[in-house]
Structure 1
Amino acid sequence: MKGTYGSEWPSEEKIKRREMVAPEARYILICQYADSDIAKCFMKQDSGVECAHVTCRGGRLLGFVHYRFVVEEDVPVLYVYELQLESSVQGKGLGKFLMQLIELIACKSQMGAVMLTVQKSNTDAMAFYNNLGYVISSTSPSQVDPLDWNS
């Protein structure tokens, strides 16, 4: 994260930490487990324990997406706050898969859109979202002419 935010990271880190623990924060985690741990998870599921709520305890966190349901410009949207993947799993389709899950959740929750923010300097992320069909919103600060506020 420090690389993305540069010298602004110390103040951004405090904001990110607050966002991540907010009650409205939602997560999808990608974890790697040993085969024996997966078998235990299936056994727990058969015994009535919800496997979907098992955290990465005993597993290795490979990535996550942090999202919230918010209202932007009077439209209910699913807002992606973070999508992070360990470098060893980047380029293998997991990011695309997570975004497909996000889009499905947004659709099933009757959200008007999926929105996210990307730093202009994060060219890899800009290319990733562009390849998935995302476009810069007309409400993006990068699209607003600061001299044209009265129009």
Structure 2
Amino acid sequence: MESRKEKKLKRKQFVGNEININVNLQMLEKKKAIDELIKAASAQNDPLASFSPFRSYNTNGVSVYLDSGRGNKLSSSLKQYIQQLLKVNMEGPYGSEWPAEEKLKRREMVSSEACYILVYQAPNSNTKEMSTGSCTNEGRIVGFVHYRFTLEEEIPVVYVYELQLQSCVQGKGLGKFLMQLIELIARKSQMGAVVLTVQKANLLAMNFYINKLRYAISSISPSNVDPLTGLEKNYEILCKVFNAEAKSALEE
């Protein structure tokens, strides 16, 4: 016959098991909800549809319009263009690591998960002709943003893989305009943050994101994860968070 002590211990174990089961179920339900959130966000045909004021940009002598795209549906000429622009802009900051990095980026850029905002020179624009531009039926493309909906530290985020602009449209507010659009897309899609990676050698980009756009060096950046080994890494991970959970996981 069980003693009172044994019965009490069994009750505690039973309650403890029930709590663990409930916690596990809640975690599974949360994970499922987040997975569905990311899936729904990634499936959007035209993320720009909800942001008509961002369809075009006419400021500081730059006149462009925007369109959306998907990595696995880019035309061959468009793929060639974005790869060339990426090389022109990033070969210097990456230095000796560029050949290996370029191979990786070429695969990433044509993935079905790769979402794009494509920047086209508006008809009759006075923007300088670019020798490396790629002519399309819609006009001459002068830049792009490659981003994805994904998870970082169990937080749904928009991860900006690339923001690349031709030199003729740089320094005219267009980059800030595009990042504001990305942040709006992230918020509407219920993402917790915008995350991106910047080469330490790319001082202009570091200044742009940290000082102009108020991004923070993330807690998951190498310099914060392990300051000693982080010094050896040539990049930082930056973020802008939109809620307390994302702040706790990605910033603090």
TM-score normalised by the shorter chain: which range applies? 0.7 to 0.9
1:58-96 deviations in Å (ceiling 9; x for gaps) = 511111110000000000000000000111111111100
1:31-59 deviations in Å (ceiling 9; x for gaps) = 01324xxxxxxxxxxxxxxxxxxx94351
Return 5+ residue gaps in structure 1 as ranges. Answer: 36-54
1:54-93 aligned at under 5 Å gives the runs 56-93=136-173
The corresponding residue for 1:104 is: 184
Mapped contact 2:120–2:138 kept (Cα < 8 A): no
TM-score by length of structure 1 reads: 0.81
The corresponding residue for 1:20 is: 109
Instruction: Tell me which amino acid in the other structure corresponds to 1:72.
Output: E
Higher helix share: 2
After superposition, the Cα gap between the structure-2 partners of 1:56 and 1:68, relative to the gap in structure 1 and judged at 3 Å, is farther
User: How many Å separate the matches in 2 of 1:5 and 1:91?
Assistant: 21
Mapped contact 1:106–1:114 kept (Cα < 8 A): yes
The corresponding residue for 1:137 is: 218
Q: Which has the higher contact order (CA 8 A, sep 6+)?
A: 1
Instruction: Tell me which amino acid in the other structure corresponds to 2:215.
Output: Y
Matched, 1:30 2:119: yes
User: How many Å separate the matches in 2 of 1:122 and 1:146?
Assistant: 20
User: How many Å separate the matches in 1 of 2:228 and 2:168?
Assistant: 44
Deviation at 1:141, TM superposition (A): 1.0
The corresponding residue for 2:29 is: none
Structure 1 runs of 4+ with >4 Å offset: none
User: How many Å separate the matches in 1 of 2:136 and 2:179?
Assistant: 20
User: How many Å separate the matches in 2 of 1:58 and 1:106?
Assistant: 27
Deviation at 1:118, TM superposition (A): 0.2
Mapped contact 1:78–1:111 kept (Cα < 8 A): yes
Mapped contact 1:66–1:82 kept (Cα < 8 A): yes
User: How many Å separate the matches in 1 of 2:179 and 2:106?
Assistant: 22
SS at match of 2:218: coil
User: How many Å separate the matches in 2 of 1:58 and 1:111?
Assistant: 31
Task: State how many pairs are aligned.
Answer: 130
Match of 2:205 among 116, 119, 125: 125
Return 5+ residue gaps in structure 2 as ranges. Answer: 1-89, 125-134, 230-252
TM-score by length of structure 2 reads: 0.49
Deviation at 1:147, TM superposition (A): 6.7
After superposition, the Cα gap between the structure-2 partners of 1:90 and 1:147, relative to the gap in structure 1 and judged at 3 Å, is closer
Identity score, percent: 71
Mapped contact 1:31–1:56 kept (Cα < 8 A): no
